[in-house]
């Protein structure tokens, strides 16, 4: 008796069971009974390539899917499907960064528009005052 992994299709259940190794004239297989429904479970012992367990087992399917998912990179077209949350967050962050930049640019433009007139006016006024002071000092000394 050795412990073998089985999958019961009826119960949709992965289970490790004490299995009996059965040898016939044509095949070698492990045999056990489902822990839930008592159905006969079989694993091919000499022909793993044709052992239904490998495509039936939920555990193995999940492991295969996980391996596939782990290989998907953010740029891949199927990335969005598997990593929806992360993808959406990345999209949101990008959009927020973009929006922030646009807002900052708008604010800056508005600031310049609002103050340009005042700054240039003040500059003109300053120059006018300076010019006037120059004239006054040069004429006042006489
Ligand atoms: Zn079962």
| pLDDT given for residue 107 in this prediction | 83
Domain that holds residue 11: 2-52
Q: Does any domain span residue 65?
A: no
The rounded distance, in Å, linking the Cα atoms of 48 and 26 is 15
Residues 4, 16: contact at Cβ < 8 Å? Answer: yes
The per-residue pLDDT for range 39-68, each reduced to its tens digit, is 999 999 888 888 889 889 999 888 888 887
Q: How many domains does the chain have?
A: 2
Residues 104, 97: contact at Cβ < 8 Å? Answer: no
Q: Does any domain span residue 111?
A: yes
pTM above 0.95, yes or no: no
Q: Does any domain span residue 90?
A: yes
Q: Which residues pair with 20 in a beta bridge?
A: 31
Distance between Cα 11 and ligand 1 center (Å): 4
Distance between Cα 119 and ligand 1 center (Å): 84
Distance between Cα 129 and ligand 1 center (Å): 99
Greatest mean pLDDT range, 30-34, 64-68, 91-95, 136-140: 30-34
What is the β-pairing status of strands 2-8 and 13-23? antiparallel
Is the pLDDT at 4 greater than 60? The verdict is yes
The per-residue pLDDT for range 101-134, each reduced to its tens digit, is 888 888 878 777 776 666 666 666 677 777 878 8
């Amino acid at each position: 008796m050795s412990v073998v992994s089985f999958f019961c299709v009826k119960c949709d259940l992965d289970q490790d069971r004490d299995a009996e190794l059965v040898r016939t004239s044509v095949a070698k297989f492990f045999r056990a009974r489902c822990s839930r429904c008592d159905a006969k479970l079989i694993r091919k012992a000499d022909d793993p390539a044709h052992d239904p367990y490998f495509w039936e087992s939920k555990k193995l399917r999940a492991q295969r899917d996980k391996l596939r998912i782990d290989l998907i990179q953010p740029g891949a077209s199927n990335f969005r499907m598997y990593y929806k949350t992360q993808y959406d967050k990345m999209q949101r962050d990008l959009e927020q960064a973009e929006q922030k930049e646009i807002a900052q640019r708008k604010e800056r433009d508005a600031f310049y528009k609002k103050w340009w007139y005042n700054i240039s006016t003040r500059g003109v006024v300053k120059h006018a005052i300076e010019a006037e002071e120059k004239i006054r000092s040069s004429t006042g000394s006489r």
